[in-house]
Amino acid sequence: MKKLLLTGATGGIGKAICQVLEDDYDITVIGRNKAKVETLCSEFKNISNFFLCDLGDQKQLNLLLEEISAKGAKFDILINNAGVTNDSLFLRMDKEKWDSVIQTNLNANFSLTNAISKTMIKNRWGRIVNITSIIAHTGNVGQANYSASKAGLVAMSKSVAQELARRNITVNCISPGFIETDMTSVLSDDQQKAILSKIPMGKIGTPLDVANCVKFLVSEQSNYITGQTIHINGGLAML
Ligand SMILES: NC(=O)c1ccc[n+]([C@@H]2O[C@H](COP(=O)([O-])OP(=O)(O)OC[C@H]3O[C@@H](n4cnc5c(N)ncnc54)[C@H](OP(=O)(O)O)[C@@H]3O)[C@@H](O)[C@H]2O)c1
């Protein structure tokens, strides 16, 4: 059974990923909230292990990578799914807000990909899936930090995809539009209606819409797809 490392598993999309991959993969999760992670592990029998780490804290992340290495844990598949927003109009955005989002959504993914891909290179097989966002491509008011972090992740993925392609490792992004999770539940009813009115399919996406695409991208069936972004947004932006 292939070994898979997943971040952000306690969130809406992360749980759906655990659900669709159940039975087929040996899953290890990284989470920052022990109680949430333990509850998740009790819900999904295929989660064999977990590591606790706040990805927003580079020191914790460095310790985590040391722990993974010391335990000899090796992974065939990495899904960088954890993400945060910390919105503010650009002129009011302070460096702290900027850094907090860049650290979790971009720097942490660099560190994890850099460390975890080494085993994939040795094995000459691997799958890396990065969850980005429609905002990487369209921008959004109040989300200069978030859009930059996700656009950075798209660009990083293309470079890494080129470097690892000959080792039979694919690196792809999934760019969700408006998906019903805790991240979007903070939007007011008016904001949700305004977004909905612009979605050609007339409905909000579900975490399973994203998870099913992850399932395809980590499988053998996707073996000739690399450096790509798959957009899951009901037609909100046709990129
Ligand atoms: N929902 C959407 O409409 C949408 C659209 C585009 C892109 N996305 C992307 O999809 C991914 C999953 O988001 P979601 O919608 O499932 O949101 P969510 O329900 O809020 O889940 C976010 C996940 O990331 C984890 N996380 C956040 N900051 C972390 C940190 N510093 N250290 C460790 N873990 C951290 C959260 O852990 P806790 O449970 O401990 O908070 C949670 O598991 C994100 O990358 C997001 O940017 C979502």
What is the rounded CA–CA span in Å between residue 148 and residue 170? 23
Q: Is the pLDDT of residue 89 over 90?
A: yes
User: What's the CATH number where 136 sits?
Assistant: 3.40.50.720
65 in any annotated domain: yes
Residue 16 Cα to ligand 1 middle (Å): 12
Closest residue by Cα to atom 23, ligand 1, is 8
Closest residue by Cα to atom 2, ligand 1, is 179
Closest atom of ligand 1 relative to the 132 alpha carbon: 7
Residue given tokens 């991240």 in the structure block: 183
Q: In angstroms, what CA-CA distances link 12 with 61, 94, 133?
A: 23, 28, 15
Regarding the beta carbon of 193 and ligand 1, being less than 6 Å apart is answered: no
Q: Is the pLDDT of residue 228 over 90?
A: yes
Q: What is the pLDDT of residues 7-23, one digit of tens each?
A: 999 999 999 999 999 88
| Predicted pLDDT of residue 183 | 93
Of the candidates 184, 230, 10, 11, which has an alpha carbon nearest to the alpha carbon of residue 85?
184
Which phi and psi (to 5°) does residue 126 adopt?
A: -175, 160
Mean of pLDDT values over 148-159: 99
38 Cβ partners below 8 Å, 6+ apart? 50
Mean of pLDDT values over 79-103: 98
Of the candidates 161, 176, 163, which has an alpha carbon nearest to the alpha carbon of residue 225?
161
Mean of pLDDT values over 101-121: 98
Which of 7, 13, 102, 213 is the pocket-test mutation for ligand 1 (most atoms within 8 Å of CB)? 13
239 in any annotated domain: no
Residue 106 Cα to ligand 1 middle (Å): 13
Is the Cβ–Cβ distance between 216 and 203 less than 8 Å? no
| Predicted pLDDT of residue 87 | 97
pTM of the model: 0.98
| Predicted pLDDT of residue 23 | 86
236 in any annotated domain: no
Residue 126: strand pairing partners: 169
Mean of pLDDT values over 85-105: 98
Residue 128 Cα to ligand 1 middle (Å): 17
| Predicted pLDDT of residue 203 | 96
Regarding the beta carbon of 231 and ligand 1, being less than 6 Å apart is answered: no
List the domain range (segments joined by +) for residue 167.
Answer: 2-231
48 in any annotated domain: yes
| Predicted pLDDT of residue 167 | 98
Regarding the beta carbon of 179 and ligand 1, being less than 6 Å apart is answered: yes
Closest atom of ligand 1 relative to the 14 alpha carbon: 16
Please give the tally of structural domains in the chain: 1
Residue 31 Cα to ligand 1 middle (Å): 11
Of the candidates 76, 182, 93, which has an alpha carbon nearest to the alpha carbon of residue 129?
76
- Of the candidates 25, 51, 146, 178, the residue annotated as catalytic is 146
25 in any annotated domain: yes
238 in any annotated domain: no
Q: What is the pLDDT of residues 212-227, one digit of tens each?
A: 999 999 999 999 999 9
Which of 29, 60, 61, 84 is the pocket-test mutation for ligand 1 (most atoms within 8 Å of CB)? 84
207 in any annotated domain: yes
Q: What is the pLDDT of residues 170-185, one digit of tens each?
A: 999 999 999 999 999 9
Regarding the beta carbon of 233 and ligand 1, being less than 6 Å apart is answered: no
Handedness of CA 160, 165, 168, 173 (dihedral sign): positive
Q: What is the pLDDT of residues 27-63, one digit of tens each?
A: 999 999 999 999 999 999 999 999 999 999 999 999 9
Residue 193 has which token pair? 């209606």
What is the rounded CA–CA span in Å between residue 120 and residue 38? 28
Residue 122 Cα to ligand 1 middle (Å): 30
| Predicted pLDDT of residue 22 | 81
Of the candidates 160, 159, 76, 162, which has an alpha carbon nearest to the alpha carbon of residue 122?
76
| Predicted pLDDT of residue 52 | 98
| Predicted pLDDT of residue 7 | 98
224 is catalytic: no
Residue 173: strand pairing partners: 130, 229
57 in any annotated domain: yes
Mean of pLDDT values over 61-79: 97
Neighbours of 198 (CB within 10 A): 13
The pLDDT > 70 percentage for the chain reads 100
Which pLDDT band holds residue 64 (cuts at 50, 70, 90)?
very high
Neighbours of 156 (CB within 10 A): 17
